[in-house]
Each structure stands twice: as C-alpha cells, then as structure tokens.
C-alpha cells in the first residue's frame, strides 16, 4: 500500500508549474521539459478519474434558496466582456494571443461582486436582482509609460447595448488614479538582452557552472528593484542562474548556481539598458570587463557549484525500505450510510448540518464563500483570501530582492485537480473551478472538494460513576490547493458541530533557495566585497 503517490501529468502541464509564472508566460523563462522515457517506466501512471470514481456515493442534491449572484462569470459572460472591450476603439486592444510588448491587451477577468446592500435588498424582496458586472485588468503597453488598470464592465445582459466601462476605483484603496505602473512590460526583450550579456561571458560561465549558459534558466527578483543612481531612479533586475532538473522533478528552485547579474532596464528603449554588474563567490564586479579580468587572473577563486541536477535526491517519492507493516493499507474513513451534506452543483450552494453557504471562484484569489448562514441566520457575508505575500531573504540579491505578491500570479489558475484519497478523502464531493485570463476561459475539473470527516477525538466527554457521555468531533471541510510556482498552498474552510468556523492554510512544495558556496562559517552573514 502506498502512503505517497506520484502521478505523471500530461506534459502540457509541466510548463505551467514551472517557477516564475507571470500573467503571460515569458519566452525563455519557462521551458517545456519532455518526459524522459526511462522515467515513464519508474512512475506509476494512475488515472485520477478512476480513483475518484471508486467508492463514491452520490452527493445529496439541494436547490439553492436563491440564485448565486456571487457566482464566477460564465464563459459566455467573459466572452461578451472581451467582445465589448474589443469594440471600444479608444482602448486600442490587440487580441491577447497576438499581443506583443507594445500592445494593449485584456488580462484577467473576474466578477465584480455586486454591492452587499443591493444583494441584501434583493434577498429581502425590496429590490430587483443586482445586475452582473465584470472586473477586468487591462494591460496598457502601447505607451512609453506602461500600466495596468482595473475596469468595471457591464451590466452583462443578453443585449449589450447598455454596457459601459470605467476605472474600478472602488476596488482600490487609492484615491483617484488607480493606474499601476508596469515596469516589467518588456520582460521578453529584457531576456534577449540578458542572453546577449551571457554570450559575452560565455567562456567564464561555462567554466564556473560546468555547462553552457544556455543550459540554465535565468530569472530573478519580483517585483523589480528601484534604485537611485546619480539622483535618477533606475529600474534594476537582479537575475540568477538556476539548474534545470533533468528529471520530471519540479525542484529548479533548489538549484541556484551562485552566479548573478544585475541589469539596469530603465525605459522602454533597449539602447538605454545596461549590464551593471556580476556577483560571484561573494565578490561584486562592476561590469563584464571587470568580471572577465578577475576570472582570467590566476588568483581567481572558484567554488563548488550546486550541481545536483540529476536530482533523484530532490524527488518526493518514497525512498528507502518500507516501515514495519507499511505494506498494509493505512486507516481510512468511509461513509457507512452516504454523504451527510447536500450540494447544488449548478448554483454552487452547500448545506451541512446547521450551515449553508454559496461558493464563488476568482482568478486572483481562488475560492470565496458568500452568505454563510448558521441555523438560518447570516453570520458571514463574504469569506476568502485577500493576499499571500512571500517575502524572501538571504545572502544573495535575488533572495533578498524577492517579495512575491501571489494574487498577481493568481490562485485560480494554479488550483489544479485534487488527488482523491490524498488531498481529500475519495468519498468527497469534487467541484470544477473556472477562471478567465488572457481572453481564455479555463475549467479545472475537481479543483475544490467538500467532505465530512471524524477528527478522531470527541468534542466533549464526561464521566461520572453514574454515566459517561461523549460527542464525536466531526468537521465539514471545503478544500482547494493552489500550486503557485514552487509553493503549494492548501486552503481549508472548516465547519464544526459547535457552530465554529475555521480557516486553515498549509504550505508545501519546494523552497526557493540560496547557494552556500563560500564562507560556510558565516553563512547568514555574507560580506560582499566590491571590485
């Protein structure tokens, strides 16, 4: 019996799970890795669908008391919004698929949630159903100062003649102008610039890293670094070289090579860009000439690089010999008399015990709950993630310059199909999740699961000489897991018999790491000398 599972996913999915996923995949940064033939033989290929089908009992159905006005936009609604926006000539939009770095294009599209007051009036029969609006991120790049701006677009009705758009100012804490300057609009072209710098130092890189520079992935800080140079604000990009795993393992973030470049990418004209410096072995070199001169000098010190690219050590499969009795099936929960919760799968409405709620799903933050009621009383209007910020630190500039704001990458696009029997009990109810980005609507099947389980400890007990009583500790969970690059965030919304509600976030996946090729005695106190 296995307590760890490995699945080979269709190769198209490999590129998506690579680190540094931007709203649009960047050329050069994300490689498709073909599955090596010998690995296919090692990995047990299981069909997720057939696992899910095993031992499932039907979910009891229920009809939602009213329409889910918080439901994600349908594919038809998103398509109508895209069509409307493309008809607005003043936006000067290019189809996302044809967009280049100098085009305006449509990024993410989510529901702009209706105003709470409007919804409550409608539920109470005092107003008509609130109209549907979309919240759209437009990427304005056909300009010297590229920016992103959120627009509210609607009402979305079969007749689109009354549709309008305007900046979604109420979705921001900023007053007035909500435009967000985009300093990274030219990422693709910057990558070509980086490649050119590498080819000028090709011999040194090959000698230090043991392979041609083109064998490595080259990426770095997010967001970009702003630095004052001679009273002028410059936009800097620190990048590092990362080993590309030669296996299916997704552990590139464990393979920093200890070589870094600093690029000044201020302005949209590549002629103004500059390689500012190289960092290797705790020494910073101002420019390629200084780096190469040092490299060619007989006193240049080289360090053992973070090789490990064959990577069996970094895979997460079972290793070593089995634990005693590990060949027996582990404990499992069953539903002896069927599911004790009800779902309206179309309306995304759930009822369990004294609880009921509606589900929505967004590109930016994944699952959200609305109108949570306990014994018929609304106790929470909206419950969901707002942001997950991953602030890194470390002895190298890429680590210390990194502060991922993960809603930018999106929790929706990275909420993939769950593994029955591992992510959730196989008897769970699985729901699909749909999101809209770059003018494409995508549905991930079985990305949300709902299940009741026994916590294995009673929520109360008491014993006296006359009687003993205990109440089972049961919990109803809604779970989704978003693998944003190297991290897997697992989100639970738990509903307990005592009326309490709990949110749980768990992290798994791979760390993003820093190499330690030098000064092992002072590994958290790197002193960098400047040449």
Q: Catalytic amino acids? A: 406, 487
Contact between 445 and ligand NAG (CB under 6 A)? yes
Q: Which residue stretches of 3-44 are H helix? A: 12-16, 37-42
| Residues in the chain, total | 531
Contact between 502 and ligand NAG (CB under 6 A)? no
Q: Which of 6, 68, 74, 103 binds ligand NAG (CB under 6 A)?
A: 103
Contact between 142 and ligand NAG (CB under 6 A)? yes
Say if CB 153 and CB 165 are below 8 A apart: yes
Q: Are strands 60-61 and 341-344 parallel, antiparallel or unpaired?
A: parallel
Question: Which region, judged by CB under 6 A, interacts with ligand NAG, from 231-239, 277-285, 499-507, 520-528?
Answer: 520-528
Q: What is the DSSP string of 335-378?
A: -TT--SEEEETTTTEEEETTEEEEEEEETTTEEEEEEEEETTEE
Query: To the nearest whole angstrom, how small is the minimum distance from the Cβ of residue 416 to ligand NAG?
Result: 12
Complex with ligand NAG: residue 412 or 421, whichever CB lies closer: 421
Contact between 426 and ligand NAG (CB under 6 A)? yes
Q: Which of 14, 30, 71, 112 binds ligand NAG (CB under 6 A)?
A: 112
Query: To the nearest whole angstrom, how small is the minimum distance from the Cβ of residue 528 to ligand NAG?
Result: 10
Complex with ligand NAG: residue 108 or 236, whichever CB lies closer: 108
SS3 track for 272-331:
HCEEEEEEECCEEECCHHHHHHHHHCCCCCCCCCCCCCCCHHHCCCCCCCCCCCCCCCCC
- Phi-psi map region of 149: left, alpha, beta (phi>0 left; psi -120 to 50 alpha): beta
> Side by side, which strands form the sheet with 377-384?
60-61, 341-344, 349-352, 355-362, 366-374, 377-384
Q: Which of 133, 213, 237, 280 binds ligand NAG (CB under 6 A)?
A: 133
Complex with ligand NAG: residue 155 or 287, whichever CB lies closer: 155
Q: From residue 331 to residue 350, what is the string marking binding to ligand NAG with x (rule CB under 6 A)?
A: --------------x-----
Measured between alpha carbons, how far is 349 from 60 in angstroms, rounded to an integer? 12
Which of 249, 306, 260 has the alpha carbon at shortest distance from 515?
Answer: 306
Cβ within 8 Å of residue 239, ≥6 positions away: 194, 218, 219, 220, 221, 260, 261, 263, 398
Q: Which of 231, 297, 457, 527 binds ligand NAG (CB under 6 A)?
A: 527
Q: How crowded is residue 165: how many other Cβ atoms within 10 Å of its Cβ? A: 18
Give the distance, in angstroms, between the CA of residue 155 and the centroid of all CA atoms in the same chain.
30
Contact between 432 and ligand NAG (CB under 6 A)? yes
Query: To the nearest whole angstrom, how small is the minimum distance from the Cβ of residue 393 to ligand NAG?
Result: 16
Contact between 160 and ligand NAG (CB under 6 A)? yes
Question: Which region, judged by CB under 6 A, interacts with ligand NAG, from 76-84, 182-190, 315-323, 486-494?
Answer: 76-84
DSSP state at residue 89:
G
Q: Which of 173, 386, 525, 529 binds ligand NAG (CB under 6 A)?
A: 525
Here the tokens at position 214 are 């083109």
Contact between 84 and ligand NAG (CB under 6 A)? yes
Complex with ligand NAG: residue 115 or 177, whichever CB lies closer: 115
Question: Which region, judged by CB under 6 A, interacts with ligand NAG, from 13-21, 84-92, 261-269, 457-465?
Answer: 84-92
Which of 55, 531, 101 has the alpha carbon at shortest distance from 332?
Answer: 55
Matching residue, tokens 């758009």: 165
Site for ligand NAG in 374-413 (CB under 6 A): none
Contact between 522 and ligand NAG (CB under 6 A)? yes
Q: By CB under 6 A, how many residues form the interface with ligand NAG?
A: 25
Complex with ligand NAG: residue 33 or 363, whichever CB lies closer: 363
Say if CB 262 and CB 279 are below 8 A apart: yes
Contact between 80 and ligand NAG (CB under 6 A)? yes
Complex with ligand NAG: residue 151 or 309, whichever CB lies closer: 151
Query: To the nearest whole angstrom, how small is the minimum distance from the Cβ of residue 142 to ligand NAG?
Result: 4
Q: Which of 6, 91, 102, 347 binds ligand NAG (CB under 6 A)?
A: 102
Say if CB 295 and CB 281 are below 8 A apart: no
Complex with ligand NAG: residue 106 or 276, whichever CB lies closer: 106
Query: What three-state secondary structure class fits 195?
Result: helix
Measured between alpha carbons, how far is 498 from 474 in angstroms, rounded to an integer? 9
227 phi/psi in degrees, rounded to 5: -145, 140
Query: To the nearest whole angstrom, how small is the minimum distance from the Cβ of residue 125 to ligand NAG?
Result: 19
Strands (DSSP E) contained in 44-87 are: 60-61
Q: Which of 87, 272, 304, 460 binds ligand NAG (CB under 6 A)?
A: 87
Q: Which residues of the chain form contacts with ligand NAG (CB under 6 A)?
A: 54-55, 80, 83-84, 87, 92, 94, 102-103, 112, 114-115, 133, 142, 160, 345, 421, 426, 432, 445, 519, 522, 525, 527
């Amino acid at each position: 019996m296995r307590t760890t599972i490995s699945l080979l996913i269709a190769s198209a999915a490999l590129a998506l799970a690579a680190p540094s996923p931007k709203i649009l995949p960047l050329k050069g940064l994300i490689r498709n890795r073909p599955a090596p033939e010998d690995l296919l033989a090692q990995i047990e290929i299981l069909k997720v669908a057939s696992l899910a089908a095993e031992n499932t009992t039907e979910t009891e159905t229920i009809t939602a008391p009213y329409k889910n006005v918080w439901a994600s936009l349908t594919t038809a609604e998103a398509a109508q919004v895209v069509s409307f926006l493309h008809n607005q000539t003043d936006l000067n939009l290019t189809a996302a698929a044809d967009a280049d770095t100098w085009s305006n294009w449509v990024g993410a599209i989510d529901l702009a949630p209706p105003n709470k007051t409007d919804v409550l009036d409608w539920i109470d029969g005092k107003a008509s159903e609130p109209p549907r609006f979309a919240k759209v991120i437009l990427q304005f790049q056909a300009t010297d100062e590229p920016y992103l701006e959120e627009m509210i677009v609607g009402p979305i009705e079969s007749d689109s003649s009354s549709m309008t758009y305007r900046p979604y100012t109420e979705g921001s804490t900023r007053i007035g102008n909500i435009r967000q300057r985009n300093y990274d609009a030219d990422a693709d072209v910057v990558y070509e610039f980086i490649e050119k710098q590498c080819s000028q130092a090709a011999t040194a890189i090959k000698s230090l890293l043991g392979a041609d520079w083109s064998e490595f992935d080259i990426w770095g800080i997010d967001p970009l670094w702003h630095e004052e140079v001679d009273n002028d604000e410059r936009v800097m990009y620190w990048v590092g070289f990362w080993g590309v795993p030669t296996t299916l393992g997704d552990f590139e973030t464990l393979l920093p090579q200890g070589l870094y470049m600093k690029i000044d990418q201020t302005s949209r004209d590549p002629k103004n860009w500059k390689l500012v410096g190289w960092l290797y072995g705790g020494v910073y070199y101002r420019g390629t000439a200084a780096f190469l001169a040092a490299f060619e000098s007989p006193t240049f010190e080289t360090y053992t690089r973070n090789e490990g690219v064959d990577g069996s050590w970094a895979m997460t499969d079972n290793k070593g010999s089995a634990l005693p009795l590990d060949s027996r099936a582990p404990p499992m929960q069953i539903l002896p008399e069927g599911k004790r919760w009800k779902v309206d799968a179309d309306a995304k409405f759930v009822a369990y015990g004294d609880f009921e709620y509606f589900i929505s799903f967004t590109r930016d933050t994944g699952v959200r709950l609305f109108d949570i009621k306990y014994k018929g009383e609304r106790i929470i209007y909206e419950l969901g993630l707002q942001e997950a910020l991953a602030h890194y630190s470390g002895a190298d500039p890429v680590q210390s310059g990194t502060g991922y704001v993960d809603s930018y990458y999106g929790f929706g696009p990275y909420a993939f199909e769950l593994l029955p029997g591992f992510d959730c009990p196989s008897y769970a109810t699985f729901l699909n999740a749909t999101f809209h980005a770059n003018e494409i609507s995508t549905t991930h099947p079985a990305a949300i699961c709902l299940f009741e389980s026994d916590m294995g400890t009673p929520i109360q007990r008491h014993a006296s000489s006359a009687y003993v009583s205990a109440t089972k500790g049961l919990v109803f969970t809604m779970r989704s897991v978003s693998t944003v690059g190297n991290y897997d965030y697992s989100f639970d919304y738990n509903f307990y018999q005592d009326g309490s509600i709990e949110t749980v976030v768990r992290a798994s996946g791979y760390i993003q790491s820093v190499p330690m090729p030098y000064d092992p005695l002072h590994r958290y106190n790197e002193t960098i000398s400047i040449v």
